[in-house]
Structure 1
Amino acid sequence: MKANRARWPIARMARLLGVSTSGFYAWLVREPSQQASSDALLLARIRTLHASSRGTSGAPRIHAQLAREGMHVGRKRVARLMRMAGLCGASRRRWPRTTRQRAGARRAPDLVRRHVQR
C-alpha cells in the first residue's frame, strides 16, 4: 500500500486488502518490532562474515561462526536472513559425469561381434 499510494487511494486499497485505513496509518508511524530490529543487527553481522569469507560461506558456516562468537541464533533464521538479502555460499563444482569421445579418436574393436547399429 505504501508503494502504491500515489497511484491509488488508501481507502480503496484498504478495502480490497481487507484492512482498515486507520491500521495502515498506525503502521506507518509505528517503530519496528523488536525482532525486526534484532534481524537488522544480525543481518549486518552476517553481511560482514559473508564478505570476510569472500562470499564463500553459506548459512551453516556463518551459523557456526556466530555460535563461536557467542551469538545463539537458529540456523534457519540465518538462512532466512541470507536468502532475503540475496546472500549465498559457493558450492563445489561437480565433475562431469559423462565420458566424451575425443575428436579423431579411433573406436575400440568389437571383440564380441555385437553388430551394433551406429
Structure 2
Amino acid sequence: MYPKKRYVTTTMSFHHYRKWPDMINRTSPIMAEQVWVSDITYLRTGKGFIYLFLITDAYSRKIVGYHLSQSLKASGCISALKKAIGARKYKKRPLIHHSDRGIQYCCDEYVQILQRNHIAISMTQSGSPYDNAVAERVNGILKTEFGLYDTFQSYSKAVGPVCKAIEKYNNVRPHMSCEMMTPDKRHNQEFSQYQKNSVRAYLYDENLM
C-alpha cells in the first residue's frame, strides 16, 4: 500500500501578476510541441517535502523539461522551462505553454522567457483537475510505477531516482494514449497523412502558414 497522501499546496494563485486567458479550452493537440503543460508535484524526504517541476508535451506525453528543488521558488520552474526550450525538436512550430495560475508561472521572469521564445501563454481558469489531466496522469505514473512515492533520506538521495524515473518514463513505458508507443518515440514520430492534413488545417485556421 502507498502511504496516505497528505495534501501539499504547490499553487499560490493570490498575487498581483497578470493571469493569462485559457487558449487550450480542453482541446486535444494533434502534434508534438503544439502544447506544453507545466505542473509542480511534491516528493517526501526524511527532512520534509521537496518539489519536482515538470513540463510535459501534451501530445506525446514526453517530459521535455524538469527540475528537482528544495523550495517552491520560481527558479525551479525557470530551470525546467529553460531545459525544455533548449531541447526543442520542432523549433519553428507554434507552441502554447499551459499552466495553472500560480505565482511561479505568472512572475515577470517566467513570462519574459516565454515571450522571448515566441511561446504563447495559456492558463487554467476554473482550477478544475480536468484542466490539468495530462500533468496529473504523469505525476501518478512517476509516483506509483517508478518509485517516487517513496520517502527519500534527503534531497541529494532523491536526485538519482528522479532522473532514472523520468528516463524510464520517456523511453521505456508505452502509453495507451500514444498508441502503445513510448513518449519519446511518439514525440519523434513522422506524421501520418491524416496527421499532416490535420496540421495543415490547424495552421491555416490559426493563420500560421
TM-score (normalizing by structure 2): 0.17
Structure ranking higher in helix proportion: 1
Query: Which structure has more RCO (C-alpha within 8 Å, separation ≥ 6)?
Result: 2
Structure ranking higher in strand proportion: 2
TM-score (normalizing by structure 1): 0.24
